[in-house]
Amino acid sequence: MAGKKNTEEPSREKIITSEYSELMQKSYIDYAMSVIIARALPDVRDGLKPVQRRTLYDMEELGIHWNSPYRKSARIVGDTMGKYHPHGDSSIYDALVVMAQDFKKTLPLVDGHGNFGTIEGDSAAAMRYTEARLQKVTEEAMLADLNRGVVDFGPNFDETEQEPLVLPCMIPNFLINGSEGIAVGMATSTPTHNPGEAIDAEIAVMENPDITTKELLRIMPGPDFPTGGIVVNKQDLPEIYETGTGKIRLRGCVTTEKGKNGHVNLVVTQIPYTMIGTGIAKFLADVAALSENHVTSDIVDISNQSSKEGIRIVIELKKDTDVSNFENLLYKKTKLEDTFGVNMLAIHNGRPETMSLKDVLRANVEFSFEVTRRKYENLLAEEKKKREIQEGLIKAVNVIDLVIEILRGSKSRQQAKDCLVFGKTDGIRFKTSANRAMAAQLQFTEPQAEAILNMRLYKLIGLELDALVKEHETTVANIYNYEEILEKKSVMTAVIKKQLLAFKAAYPQPRKTKITDAEAAVYVEKQPEEADVVFVMDRFGYAKTLDLATYERNKEAATEANKFLLVCRNTGRVCLFTDMGNLYTVKVQDLPLSKLRDKGKPIDNISAYDSTKETIVCAASQSDLNLYRFLFVTKNGLVKLTDGGEFDVSRRAVAATSLEEGDLVVAVLPVTGQNQLVLATEGGYMLKLDLDEVSLQKRNAKGIAGIRLTKEDAVEDAWIFAKREAPTITFHEKTIDLGSLRTAKRGTRGSKQ
């Protein structure tokens, strides 16, 4: 309407000002804690990550018991994801698979049916093909009494279901099955242990809370991996278990057998736990590489004969092989000896904590007492309710005629109940006033009255009454027993101990991993028979060696195809001089002994030389160094002679000469009787001088002026020769007889060609 004033004020947005860095920090901390607590780390009480706990609980809810038919893994995964774990099906199925693999878990919690992967790294079949059910031990040790309120429950992600915050685990599963997981900024890595030993260790802590780690290690000597193997640093275990962190050195187990034709077979029968999966294929490849790279010549053949019966990797060796030395080679050069990093990190009292062995066992003992206490408190309450009902029924049977009269005379169920509980007789017909008076004195409890009203007539049979009395006696005995368990810690301790020993007896497992102290593996290289070979390297940096016979037959082809070529000893080294003034040495044994047409190995891969930063200008045999002097020529025109003995070093890389800033080595030439030197520049100038004019200097010297250069010019190449053997060369597309050049003095410019 015209003239009406709008009195409504416009809505105002509420703006909250916040520091961006503080907001990001808080959000990241919330995310990190979510990953740590709710996904990646196990709870020390049941040894399970949330995804494992939810999967097992869901299987229990679905009724997939150890004696029930298997159910499709996809059904389990889908139900778990929809109700408890909304983080993707792959994480749930991976957890299910690992809990079923006996080569990863000492005590598998899931009974898998179908392809659940292999120790050699083959992945499990898709979840639509595999089936699973709970293991008997899982139900008995981890899921029993869930319906008795022994653990707390909480809402699931959408608050439509309730899930246990921890399973009522009565065995030290955190130690038995170990755990591996990566959170944000922290990781857990706990080795597996023998179930019987872990249970004995928990009982020992229960009986003596002040027991020491060393005393515990007499009961549980160390880890017990499903793959067996040998722990070889027993002396480090007390500190590892005292701190909860450290490194365990593991070795595989090997035996020897007689092979064909007098050969010896070295058989790997157990592998380190860390080799599970692709590590086995990597081990086979590494052993083959030892032969290909000439680290050893003892290997005849290698084969993987592993099966369901166990690991069997056969390495066939030559007759004269030192088997013990070869075994040490495997420990040093392959993953047959490896380290398992221990970090016993778990959720304890709601927060991540690195725990010692004693801490873990104490936490398990405390949890066992808590679960047992809650169990027997609930059982006691149930028995007391049962006793109340039983006493009411026995009392009712004793006055059954009166009870029947009350029931027949009542007009409603409530009227009869009020009479039984409160003695109200108004409105109820009785045969006599005496019966009414007796009815008024009845004082049943409400539960007893309900039980009487629900009682069937067959309960009045004599045998049924006797059974009721016996049942009442049993109930009274149970109440006394439960009260004693709850009141006396020693009695509860005995109950828990009996339960633990029953688990130990029901699921015995012999120890698979040996615990010992062993010396570090020492491999003594077998020296090859000393002989001359030919080192060749092409312009692309691929190097190899040829035997002399092969080289002699193909001398011309070898010379044309390669940039560097020299004769050396197979036990020696090759020296490589670069334009940056460095010297790199390469063991000849590290070079493949090949055929002429074989490619060889990149020199970068077997030396400290980097072809992306510098260029090789000369190669020489280290065994011949003392026979030569070496002439160094640099781009800036500096020259020097250095005695070859100065380069006879064992280090892989040293400085061969000093250089001015911006200068490079153009040539390194071994002098073996030559007395003439010709320097050629990019500008086309050449200077010929007597080699006697070049002074002998140390390795760290820069040299002296050889040719005078203009600012734009630089030395491009150099040649040395004897006077009577002057060569003819091609330089800048011109053919030049070096002997025809006029000899000049050092430090002059030379002549234009």
Residues noted as catalytic: 129
Q: How far apart are CA 23 and CA 35, in angstroms?
A: 19
Q: Where are the beta strands (DSSP E) in 475-562?
A: 514-515, 532-537, 542-547
| Edge-first strand listing for the sheet containing 264-270 | 253-258, 264-270, 313-317, 299-304
Q: Which residues contact 366 (CB under 8 A, 6 or more apart)?
A: none
- For the chain, report the end-to-end CA distance as a whole number of angstroms: 109
Q: How far apart are CA 13 and CA 184, in angstroms?
A: 37
- How many whole angstroms from its chain centre is CA 481? 48
Long-range contacts of 258-262 (CB under 8 A, 24+ apart): 259/316, 259/317, 260/316, 262/319
Q: How far apart are CA 120 and CA 108, in angstroms?
A: 18
Contact 633, 597 (CB under 8 A): no
Which of these, 539, 574, 571, 582, lies nearest to 699 by C-alpha position?
582
* CA distance to 381, 440, 680, 684, 738, per residue, from 730 (Å): 109, 137, 11, 12, 10
The 3-state DSSP class for residue 166 equals coil
Indicate the Cα dihedral angle 262, 265, 266, 270, nearest 10°: -150
Q: How far apart are CA 653 and CA 582, in angstroms?
A: 7
One-letter amino acid for residue 443 of the chain? Q
| Edge-first strand listing for the sheet containing 179-182 | 179-182, 187-190, 337-343, 245-251, 230-231, 514-515
Contact 471, 403 (CB under 8 A): no
- How many whole angstroms from its chain centre is CA 361? 24
Which of these, 41, 46, 49, 94, lies nearest to 344 by C-alpha position?
41
Strands 514-515 and 230-231: parallel
Residue 567: both structure tokens together? 């004769």
DSSP state letters, 230-241:
EE-BGGGHHHHH
* CA distance to 269, 276, 280, per residue, from 336 (Å): 11, 11, 9
**Residue appearing with tokens 């005292």:** 242
**Residue appearing with tokens 């009166």:** 402
Please report how many Cα atoms fall inside a 13 Å half-sphere around the Cα of residue 344, on the Cβ side. Answer: 29
Q: How far apart are CA 698 and CA 16, in angstroms?
A: 75
Residue 607: both structure tokens together? 């030396």
Q: Which residues contact 541 (CB under 8 A, 6 or more apart)?
A: 602, 603, 604, 611, 616
